[in-house]
Structure 1
Amino acid sequence: MYVRDIMIRYVVTIGIDDSVKRCAKLLMEKKFSGLPVVEKSGTLVGIVTEGDLIKRVSHFESLDVIELLGGVIELGDADQFMEDVKQSQVETVRGVMSADVMVVHPNDTIEHTVTTMLQYHIKRLPVVDEQHKLLGIISRRDIMQHLYRR
């Protein structure tokens, strides 16, 4: 059995210059945990995950607080923190995506694909051609459905 036999051919993607806000909205609407990032030509250039977006927010200066006698005293600037969060939403996917993406090819075996997923703790793999154009995606769920639907 080969990747081409069970991969999903219709893939929701995000553009490299799309906003982080649009990306987050798409992830939430579709209930996806990640999206392939493509150029206008369809060439895969990266992947962006919920984790990438969450990590982006974690780089902001946090509000420092002191808990004293059951009360909380803020030491940080709440307005600046909220401004940083708003600014992160207008940034582009290019700034938050992972550019180093593991991929598979349509003629790769399912065994090879499963081994790659397990070895690198990957949930989904983009399927590309020799020119790195996105052809589809294969996930652990696709493999499970194939293995256990019989």
Structure 2
Amino acid sequence: MNASDVMIRAVATVGPDTPIAEVAKLMMLNDVSAVPVVDDKGGIVGIISEADLLRREEIGTERHRPWWLEAMTPATTLAAEFAKSHGKRVDELMSKEVITATEDTPLAQIAAILERNRIKRVPIMRGSELVGIVSQANLVQALASSAMATQDGWDESRMIKQEILSRLEQQTWTDFGNRNVIVTGGNVHLWGLVGSQAERKALTALVEGVPGVTGVIDEMIAAY
């Protein structure tokens, strides 16, 4: 399996000038722990994560040191910490060195990248274009999928999943996507938060209407 088999394709992004308050809201609404930062041409210029938002003066979590320890702390370190806690725009907090992979990168290599660099997700590129992102959660979902599916049925499962994702992209009443769907043979597991009973029923009906689907396993969590 490669990155293209498990990656999230509908990636939430922000620009360098995006206010920090908007980034926090975007992460919360999309249930993600980091978002890539792109320029006006769509090129990736950085990434901002929950870790970058931990030390904020608005909530009283900025770093404080005894005066004698602060006196020995390099000025560059103090300046960087101040920017993290007081910066108002993404480009003041984001990490500029972004580790990426391509669509055909094997999952074993993706796992090694995450482990070696102690990161939780890696953006997937097609040339200079951002086309997806793979997180630790996606690898866990891939493991769950492989444990339940046989290799012989993998191609069929992938075709069913792609059809489901295609139909989901056309709907405005849900934000379900790649990370919410696992297909094992003809069985489809639906994961994630749903905002209403109507959305739960609609998602089930959408999946049941896809050719090749023999069952829907409801793993969804109610947020209502």
TM bucket, shorter chain: 0.7 to 0.9
Does the CA contact (< 8 Å) of 1:20 and 1:88 recur in 2? no
User: What is the alpha-carbon root mean square deviation over aligned residues?
Assistant: 2.5
Are positions 1:126 and 2:123 aligned together? yes
Q: Render the CA deviation track for 1:1-37: whole Å, top value 9, x for unaligned.
A: 1111211111111111111111112122223211111
Which residue identity lines up with residue 35 of structure 1 in the other structure? V
Determine what percentage of the aligned residue pairs are the same residue.
Answer: 31
The answer as to whether partners of 2:54 and 2:61 remain within 8 angstroms in 1 is: no
**1:26-69 per-position Cα deviation (integer Å, ceiling 9, x unaligned):** 1222232111111121111111011112235489575x9xxxxx
Please tell me whether residue 113 in structure 1 is matched to residue 110 in structure 2: yes
Give the equivalent residue in structure 2 for 1:30.
30
Equivalent in the alignment of 2:133: 137
Aligned to 1:77: none
Structure richer in helix, relative to its length: 2
Alignment of 1:1-150 (within 5 A): 1-55=1-55, 57=57, 62=64, 88=86, 91-131=88-128, 133-149=129-145, 150=148
Higher relative contact order (CA 8 A, sep 6+): 1
TM-score for the superposition, normalised by structure 2: 0.51
Q: Closer, same or farther in 2 for the Cα pair 1:53/1:61, shift >3 Å? A: closer
Structure 2: runs of 5 or more not aligned: 67-81, 149-224
After TM superposition, the score normalised by the length of structure 1 is 0.74
SS in 1 for 2:124: strand
Q: Per the alignment, do residues 88 and 113 of structure 1 end up closer, same or farther by CA in structure 2, a change over 3 Å counting?
A: same
